[in-house]
Amino acid sequence: LNYTEPYRPQYHFSPAENWMNDPAGLVYYNETYHLFFQYNPAGIEWGNMSWGHATSKDLTHWEERPVALLARGYPENVTEMYFTGSAVADVNNTSGFGVDGKVPLVAMYTSMYPVAQELPSGKNVLAEQQSQSIAYSLDDGETWTTYDAENPVIHNPPSPYGAEFENFRDPFVFWHEDTQKWVAVTVLASLHKVVIWSSDNLKEWSLASEFGPYNAVGGVWECPNLFQMPIKGHPSIKKWVLVLGLNPGGPPGTVGSGTQYFIGDFDGTAFKADPDNIHADNKSANWMDWGPDFYAAASYNGLPAGDDVVQIAWMNNWQYGATIPTSPWRSAMSVPRQLSLKKVNGKVALLQQPQHSWRSVANHQTLKHSWKSVSKGSTSLDSPGKAFKIDLSFADHDSDKSLASTFAIAVRASSDFKQETLVGYNFTSKEVFVDRRNSGDGSFDKTFASLYHAPLSANADKRINLQVFVDWSSVEVLGGQGEVSLTAQIFPEGNSTEARLVSTDGVTQDVRLRISGMDSAWH
């Protein structure tokens, strides 16, 4: 396999073949980053849900490993699928799974039982039931043993929600330092409720609290993620962030999946969102990403204390995920993102920056240019190819006859520019945008060819800063200090490698551009 098929991401993780969805079980242990993910060993559509596995030393170069948890009964008669979950290194062996001093990695996941059955533990489950189970590994994640003696360890939704047994899933487990307990965060997807549990040993769980519904409740709530971070510049103030997938019901202008977050406090029992993070209309939300292709975001467990939180998301959307024109695999992960909190205009904002190891594949084919003024119309650029990273900054302005109404860089463009993806800024609406209406193949879904936008104000120097990661089938935009993010897949022709600047209705001032070529992380 040489990872050179049409649309194959060059520095984003994708499985060699077959279907992938959510990242699950991101854990750093023994100087290795593990990435487990929802995986169908049998094909490029969702099914037979198992946990695929990849490892990395730097979060950019990945090696795919054997399937970690293969759907029980696969292939003839699947009786249990392993849905999304999380993993921890149980360094104190609270679970007792460790043997001879070997630290167990413990995964907690949703067991989805397609058929009613009595389990080896003697517990009974209904058809389509979702319960929470655990498994452990004593060889650094290579092979796993399910805890059949007791699974599922959280059998049923808490009362009075027993009827929700088909919509109870996605445990995110982590160690809560202050109370010295394990905490697991799950969802009652259709009720838009997060249910929080705690445990001393990862095996016996007690109900701690529930949260929601709040803010965006368009579809179901899935894949909760909860973590703590200091506020930059105020290291003694730490806040908790709860991240949730919504499907459908993403940000304005998107169709399908999306990701929202809440900033607040968590005492080991209850999560309480800050009052300014709750929107009374139950419609607006804090969007983690304003594009269509950022879902099921999960953070790493086990990072060295003091390191920033790092998240990876599924770079796809349930609206069209199963029909994107890639083969023999479907779906890639986002660039890993380093998260931080910072006070911006008096309010705590969640910032995203690319995790630094992308630099290990940046090559020396760098284009650097600045313009006092970019004229109205288009300005040609040398071809940056198919995989590169852009830093683009320019002066903001209020509307004025001689000045631009929008300014953008066109990437992955054909030589006649009939095909192009535009990443830019609208000076009138003060929004960053990604326009993939003419980006290439969009024939597989009628909602795909669209324009996405996110609000962004200029920084203190009255400038707009954009970082853009372009790969063979995606663009990821981080605006400002990372307070907005826009992620979108694109499927351009292989020979669409041109780029240009486009300033509409007038000039754009003080433009600085830097483009670094990106090599393949697979070779």
Active-site residue set: 22
10 binds ligand FRU per the rule CB under 6 A? no
User: How close are the terminal C-alpha atoms of the chain, in Å?
Assistant: 10
Residues for the chain: how many in total?
Answer: 523
Site for ligand FRU in 277-316 (CB under 6 A): 296
Q: Which is nearer to ligand FRU, 49 or 381 (CB)?
A: 49
Task: Assess whether the previous peptide bond of 248 is cis (omega < 30° from 0).
Answer: yes
Q: Which is nearer to ligand FRU, 19 or 175 (CB)?
A: 19
34 forms bridges with which residues in the sheet?
A: 27, 55
Residue type, 393: S
Site for ligand FRU in 221-250 (CB under 6 A): 222-223, 245
- Which of 8, 12, 22, 509 is the binder for ligand FRU (CB under 6 A)? 22
Instruction: Calculate the CA 131 to chain-centre distance.
Output: 24
- Residue 254 tokens read as 């998107």
What does the per-residue mask of binding to ligand FRU show for 35-64, with x meaning CB under 6 A? ---x----------x---------------
Could you tell me which residues come within 8 angstroms of residue 226 by beta carbon, excluding any fewer than 6 positions away?
172, 174, 183, 185, 240, 241, 242, 243, 266, 271
80 binds ligand FRU per the rule CB under 6 A? no
What does the per-residue mask of binding to ligand FRU show for 142-171, with x meaning CB under 6 A? ---------------------------xx-
Q: Which is nearer to ligand FRU, 51 or 433 (CB)?
A: 51
Could you tell me which residues come within 8 angstroms of residue 131 by beta carbon, excluding any fewer than 6 positions away?
110, 111, 113, 125, 151, 152, 154, 155, 156, 165, 168
Q: What would the DSSP string read from start to end of 317-329?
A: -TTTGGG-S--SE
Site for ligand FRU in 94-153 (CB under 6 A): 110
What is the size of the binding site for ligand FRU (CB under 6 A)? 13
Tell me, letter by letter, the H, E, C secondary structure of 328-367.
CEECCECCCEEEEEEEECCEEEEEEEECHHHHHHEEEEEE
Question: What's the min distance (Å) between Cβ of 336 and ligand FRU?
Answer: 19
Torsions phi, psi of 361, nearest 5?
Answer: -110, 0
Torsions phi, psi of 461, nearest 5?
Answer: -85, 10
Q: Which is nearer to ligand FRU, 318 or 407 (CB)?
A: 318
Q: Which is nearer to ligand FRU, 85 or 482 (CB)?
A: 85
E-strand stretches of 155-275: 168-176, 181-188, 193-199, 206-211, 220-231, 234-247, 258-266, 271-273
Question: What's the min distance (Å) between Cβ of 445 and ligand FRU?
Answer: 17
Residue type, 326: T
Site for ligand FRU in 197-216 (CB under 6 A): none
84 binds ligand FRU per the rule CB under 6 A? yes
Q: Which is nearer to ligand FRU, 35 or 49 (CB)?
A: 49
Say if residues 454 and 478 touch (Cβ distance below 8 Å): no
| Contacting residues toward ligand FRU, per CB under 6 A | 21-22, 38, 49, 83-84, 110, 169-170, 222-223, 245, 296
